[in-house]
Amino acid sequence: MGWAALALAPLVMDQPALQAQSLLRDRQLDGGVGRLEQSWRQLDRQLRALDALIPAEKEPIPERFAPAQPLPQSLLAPNAAASTRLDAEPGAPAPLSLPDATTLQPGVIESVSLKRALAIALANNPELQARRLRVAAALAELQAALGTYWPRISAYAEGSSGKSSNNLNVPSGNDTLNGDPVMSKNGLMDAAGKATNGPFYTPAGGGAYFNGFDNNGEAGLQLDYALLDFVRTPAVEAARASLDEQRNLYANQLRRLQLDVSVAYYTLQQADQNVRIQDAAVQNDLLILQDTLDLQKAGLVPRLDVMRRRAIEASDQEALIQAMADRAIARRALAVVLNVDPQISVTAADPIEPMPAWPLDLEASLLAAYRGNPELEAILAARQALARGSDAVAAELLPKLSLFANAGTYGVNEQMYNVIPKNGGCCGSPINTVFNNSGYDWSLGLSLTWLVFDAGTTAGRARALALRSDATAEDYAARRNAIQLRLESAFFNHEASLAKLASARRGVAAAIEAFRDVRLRYQTGLSSELDLSITQERLISSLVQRLNATVDVNITYARLLRELLPVPRDPAAPFTPELTYTARPGR
């Protein structure tokens, strides 16, 4: 009886109480709708504010369902497929030339393998060619220094013609000079017994004027030989050390060039594959978009799915455009390293294949990298060249003993005219209008030179070279540490890249299966478009990660190889680049 009364109580409640409860429910409902409308108005204001931040565009916004714009022709041409293989030896542009409008026009696109690219770089690369020329210059300097041990023999010849005007005057005569009759006035008797002047008599105040024309010539041989020269030996040793430095720099340039070509080639392979991935993503976007449109027409998916697929397709097309630009740049980067004709564009012919694991551990790699490293040996050779150069400069303060000898012949032709005696003539000698003289001479002697004082100039130069030689020790330490860091970084990154590649392969396999399942589920209405988008994004990311891991394996292997690659020091020696490293006995 009591439970029945309690159940029926609401039915017998008075009317004012029911009206109050109904009014309270209406107010709560009105408040919820008002808050929702207020949120919509706030969202509208935020969207308008966002639109205000986007700069105005001259061209109108394209229709939502308009087809995608075609790719720029300026990107399609550089990304075209190769027409031939780069088998013939390509010509290199002249060093001191600039391309003209004709050579800058797009030309042929040729594929090239990595081995072929390395061979072309060895023949065409300007930095390597400059190193070859510097080695040849250092060799010529050494040959010049060795020549100082030999005597210098030179031939000389000289000829001259000149005209002179002579005016002679004798203030005092010579008639009292030792009382010699031939130089006295009236010192001789003529045939008639009359007193006459001596033939060499010159009266006081006498003089003569005449013009002369001279032709002189001489020729001979000169020999100079340093018997004792303390500068010679250290100068030769400094030149020999400079040659060693340039040869080691050439060898180091070979290593660097192989790394540059390998990195440029692997980067081009990466760019090629990335274009394929992004193109596949866009093609897949178009297929999924068509499925979404069909499902929308059937009323199975909302308009939101179509808009999201449109946005994803536009974003993936942007990624494809950028990937094509990156590939065009990568092609040009490899062509620049190879230094081929500007009209030749190259593309990679080799497929992407990961390099094997590095055959040495870290400690063995470091020890092998330090042995015979041309980068370090170049610094030691430079140190030796500076030290011996300092000795050569200091030796300039020591004495130098030289032998000299010469022998030659000479000839003189002298012609006089306009001879005018004044005040009885002068000079006590006959004046001949034509005079010829010829003969030969020779000499032999020793020369000793010893720099006694130069205000410290020579000593200062020697001290500066010695200090530069000491500074190279710090350069050696810095370069040694840099080599260790480069090798350790390449070693750890190579190990990490191999591990990442294994993970990336598993990720790609799982992502492909997941994408296949989610797309089938989406087509049958069992999965949402959001699940499809996330799974597609994960697939593209997995493909890119596997690509990056593969390229990283190859690049890090090339960086390790750069530190241990056997290279010749002589530019004339043959060199075959190696793409893999094989540990040699004793290394």
pLDDT at 47 exceeding the cut of 80: no
User: Is 500 part of any domain?
Assistant: no
pLDDT at 44 exceeding the cut of 90: no
Identity of the amino acid at 539: L
Predicted confidence at residue 198, as pLDDT, reads 73
Among 292-306, 429-443, 491-505, name the one with the lowest average pLDDT. 429-443
User: Is 186 part of any domain?
Assistant: yes
User: Is 420 part of any domain?
Assistant: yes
Residue carrying structure tokens 């480069």: 486
List, as one string, the DSSP characters of 374-436: HHHHHHHHHHHHHHHHHHHHHGGGS-EEEEEEEEEEEEEEEEEEEEEEETT--TTS---SEEE
Greatest mean pLDDT among 19-33, 423-437, 547-561 lies in: 547-561
In degrees, rounded to 5, the angle at the alpha carbon of residue 407 between the alpha carbons of residues 401 and 410 is: 135
pLDDT at 263 exceeding the cut of 60: yes
* Residue-number span of the structural domain to which 158 is assigned: 152-230+399-453
- Cα distances from 468 to residues 230, 234, 299, 387, 471, in angstroms, run 22, 17, 83, 8, 5
The mean pLDDT value for 234-249 works out to 96
User: Is 3 part of any domain?
Assistant: no
Predicted confidence at residue 236, as pLDDT, reads 96
CA gap 232, 205 in Å, rounded: 62
Residues 6+ apart with CB under 8 A from 577: 115, 118, 119, 122, 258, 565
Structure tokens at 29: 């409902």
pLDDT at 128 exceeding the cut of 70: yes
Predicted confidence at residue 10, as pLDDT, reads 37
Predicted confidence at residue 56, as pLDDT, reads 60
Model confidence over 170-201: pLDDT tens digits? Answer: 887 777 666 677 777 777 777 777 877 777 77
Among 221-230, 314-323, 422-431, 453-462, name the one with the lowest average pLDDT. 422-431
Q: Are 501 and 557 in contact (CB under 8 A)?
A: no
User: Is 348 part of any domain?
Assistant: no
Please indicate whether residue 473 or residue 47 has the higher confidence score (pLDDT).
473
In degrees, rounded to 5, the angle at the alpha carbon of residue 420 between the alpha carbons of residues 417 and 422 is: 160
pLDDT at 70 exceeding the cut of 90: no
For residue 68, name the pLDDT band (cuts at 50, 70, 90).
Answer: low
Please indicate whether residue 215 or residue 584 has the higher confidence score (pLDDT).
215
Q: For residue 527, give the H/E element and its range.
A: none
Model confidence over 451-490: pLDDT tens digits? Answer: 889 899 999 999 999 999 999 999 999 999 999 999 999 9
Residues 6+ apart with CB under 8 A from 105: 343
Report the chain's mean pLDDT, rounded to a whole number: 84
Predicted confidence at residue 2, as pLDDT, reads 36
Q: Is 518 helix (H, G, I), strand (E, B) or coil?
A: helix
CA gap 513, 535 in Å, rounded: 10
Identity of the amino acid at 23: L
For residue 67, name the pLDDT band (cuts at 50, 70, 90).
Answer: low
Among 51-60, 279-288, 531-540, 572-581, name the one with the lowest average pLDDT. 51-60
**Cα dihedral 26, 32, 38, 40 sign:** negative
Identity of the amino acid at 426: C
In degrees, rounded to 5, the angle at the alpha carbon of residue 458 between the alpha carbons of residues 453 and 460 is: 115
Percent of the chain exceeding pLDDT 90 equals 50
Please indicate whether residue 273 or residue 287 has the higher confidence score (pLDDT).
273
pLDDT at 568 exceeding the cut of 60: yes
The mean pLDDT value for 506-512 works out to 91
**Cα dihedral 249, 254, 258, 260 sign:** positive
Predicted confidence at residue 505, as pLDDT, reads 92
For residue 225, name the pLDDT band (cuts at 50, 70, 90).
Answer: very high
Model confidence over 299-308: pLDDT tens digits? Answer: 888 888 888 8
Burial class (CB in 10 A: 0-12, 13-18, 19+), 222: middle
Q: Are 202 and 396 in contact (CB under 8 A)?
A: no
Q: Is 445 helix (H, G, I), strand (E, B) or coil?
A: strand
Q: What's the number of domains the chain is made of? A: 1
The mean pLDDT value for 317-337 works out to 92
Among 263-272, 343-352, 418-427, 503-512, name the one with the lowest average pLDDT. 418-427
User: Is 527 part of any domain?
Assistant: no
The mean pLDDT value for 17-44 works out to 58
DSSP 455: T
pLDDT at 290 exceeding the cut of 50: yes
Model confidence over 203-216: pLDDT tens digits? Answer: 877 888 888 888 89
Predicted confidence at residue 291, as pLDDT, reads 83
User: Is 187 part of any domain?
Assistant: yes
- Cα distances from 303 to residues 277, 293, 308, in angstroms, run 28, 9, 9
pTM of the model: 0.78
The mean pLDDT value for 291-314 works out to 84
User: Would you state the torsion angle of the CA atoms of residues 540, 541, 542, 548, taken in this order, to the nearest 10 degrees?
Assistant: 110
Model confidence over 373-383: pLDDT tens digits? Answer: 999 999 999 99
Burial class (CB in 10 A: 0-12, 13-18, 19+), 270: buried
Q: For residue 59, give the H/E element and its range.
A: none
User: Is 10 part of any domain?
Assistant: no
For residue 11, name the pLDDT band (cuts at 50, 70, 90).
Answer: very low
CA gap 264, 272 in Å, rounded: 12
Please indicate whether residue 328 or residue 204 has the higher confidence score (pLDDT).
328
For residue 93, name the pLDDT band (cuts at 50, 70, 90).
Answer: confident
CA gap 119, 337 in Å, rounded: 12
